[in-house]
Amino acid sequence: LVNKNSRLISKFKKRKTTRTIIKKTGKIPDAVKKGLIVTIVGTNIEVEDENKDIYNCIVGGIVISNNENQSIVAVGDYVYFKFDENKKIGVIIKVEERRNHFSRKEIIYNREDVIAANIDLLIILISTTKPDYNKRLIDRFLVTAELNLVKPIICLNKCDLFNEKDLLIFEDDLNIYKKLNIPMYFMSAKYDIGLEELKSIFRNKISIMVGQSGSGKSTLLNKLIGKDIQLIDDVSAKTRKGKHTTSYVKMFDLPFGGRIIDTPGVREFGIWGLDKNDLALYFHEFDAYKEQCKFIHCSHIHEPQCAIKKTLEEGKLDYERYESYINIFESLK
């Protein structure tokens, strides 16, 4: 593991030595093209222009951008680039201001990793089983969605593996999210259950799919597009964990209008840019009670006369959500 990590770190370091200077303003030269970043693999950035032609680009030299303390480029960014017809490579000159973005904390370096920019909808794709969904991960996605101003929905995939009676157990277990007004859909990507309704929700939006490896993101993408465009693979029978089939973020056109972004599966998800003292604001089931805590700056963890803990003991709050709260609180600065 040590070996693998040091190799990873040196790979990262190498990448970062490509000199890039970020300037907030500057003149864009004539004869530049404008486009949308649809995928980034290593240092290669694929930019799509208005004719849907793809150009391979890189970042280097001076870039006009406001993205000083986060990834300079991300899938979903609108950029200007200068294309060298001989070398068949473009250089990105300017990155347009982002309307919003969806990001996580980069594990190795303590900085913001923007997964995608300018998005309307976060699709949290979870699975009934293979792999079993993880509510702590769902809660981390939900906090990040609100923090990043992206509307979240939860899709429970692989419902074909259970009968109606068993599905009621899932409905009950996930009911807390319904109470929190998060739209919830029961579906099966493989057997076309619930897909028509989802299409109507994704239509004309830019959506990003996130979830554990093996939850079925690429399967859903292929079904929505109507072509086997993304590779899918079996969940390992032994560990019930996915094998990380999708390895980079990529945006696709939806044939019925809109775009969708497929992402690699995650096991963990670090939240970036949230002060731990503000975390309770993102747990809306606390809203009705937190004013009654004795201390104004109550963390709802160890203070006496805490209304949240009292309400929890009375059984009026979801205990797993409270555990998520503590888990996230302890991971934040």
Ligand X SMILES: Nc1nc2c(ncn2[C@@H]2O[C@H](COP(=O)(O)OP(=O)(O)OP(=O)(O)O)[C@@H](O)[C@H]2O)c(=O)[nH]1
Decide if residue 157 touches Mg ion (CB under 5 A).
Answer: no
Shortest distance (Å) from residue 265 CB to Mg ion: 6
Closest by CA position to 187, among listed 165, 162, 155, 218: 155
Return the residues of window 142-171 that contact ligand X according to CB under 6 A: 157-158, 160-161
Which listed residue (103, 148, 213, 311) binds ligand X by CB under 6 A? 213
Strand partners, 20: 61
Which listed residue (76, 90, 131, 214) binds ligand X by CB under 6 A? 214
Using an 8 Å Cβ cutoff, are 129 and 188 in contact?
Answer: no
Question: How far apart are alpha carbons 269 and 106 in whole angstroms?
Answer: 9
Which listed residue (40, 189, 198, 261) binds ligand X by CB under 6 A? 189
Stretch of residues binding Zn ion (CB under 5 A), selected from 96-104, 197-205, 251-259, 298-306 = 298-306
Strands 259-262 and 20-23, bridge-based pairing? unpaired
Which listed residue (73, 91, 235, 280) binds ligand X by CB under 6 A? 235
The single-letter DSSP state of residue 318 is -
Shortest distance (Å) from residue 241 CB to Zn ion: 36
- Say which entry of ligand X, Zn ion, Mg ion, none residue 259 contacts (CB below 5 to 8 A, set by partner kind): none
Q: Would you say 202 or 283 has its CB closer to Zn ion?
A: 283
The single-letter DSSP state of residue 193 is B
Q: Is 327 helix (H, G, I), strand (E, B) or coil?
A: helix
Q: Which two tokens stand for residue 304?
A: 């006496």
Burial of 163-191, coded b for 16+ CB within 10 Å and e otherwise, reads eeeeeeebeeebebbeeeebebbbbbbbe
Please count the residues of this chain forming the interface with ligand X, following the rule CB under 6 A.
27
Question: How far apart are alpha carbons 289 and 325 in whole angstroms?
Answer: 15
Shortest distance (Å) from residue 74 CB to ligand X: 18
One-letter amino acid of 287: D
Decide if residue 39 touches ligand X (CB under 6 A).
Answer: no
Decide if residue 39 touches Mg ion (CB under 5 A).
Answer: no
Decide if residue 245 touches ligand X (CB under 6 A).
Answer: yes
Decide if residue 216 touches ligand X (CB under 6 A).
Answer: yes
Return the residues of window 243-272 that contact Mg ion according to CB under 5 A: 245-246
Closest by CA position to 125, among listed 185, 172, 74, 76: 185
Please count the residues of this chain forming the interface with Mg ion, following the rule CB under 5 A.
4
Question: How far apart are alpha carbons 200 and 186 in whole angstroms?
Answer: 15
What are the helix (H) ranges across the chain?
A: 2-16, 135-147, 164-173, 175-179, 195-202, 217-225, 307-313, 319-331
What are the helix (H) ranges across 215-257?
A: 217-225
Shortest distance (Å) from residue 2 CB to ligand X: 25
Q: Would you say 9 or 231 has its CB closer to Mg ion?
A: 231
The DSSP string of 154-169 is: EEEE-GGGS-HHHHHH
- Say which entry of Zn ion, ligand X, Mg ion, none residue 103 contacts (CB below 5 to 8 A, set by partner kind): none
Which listed residue (218, 222, 311, 324) binds Mg ion by CB under 5 A? 218
Residue numbers of the site for ligand X (CB under 6 A)? 157-158, 160-161, 188-191, 211, 213-219, 232-235, 242-246, 264-265
Binding site for Mg ion (CB under 5 A): 217-218, 245-246
Residues that bind Zn ion (CB under 5 A): 293, 298, 300, 306, 308
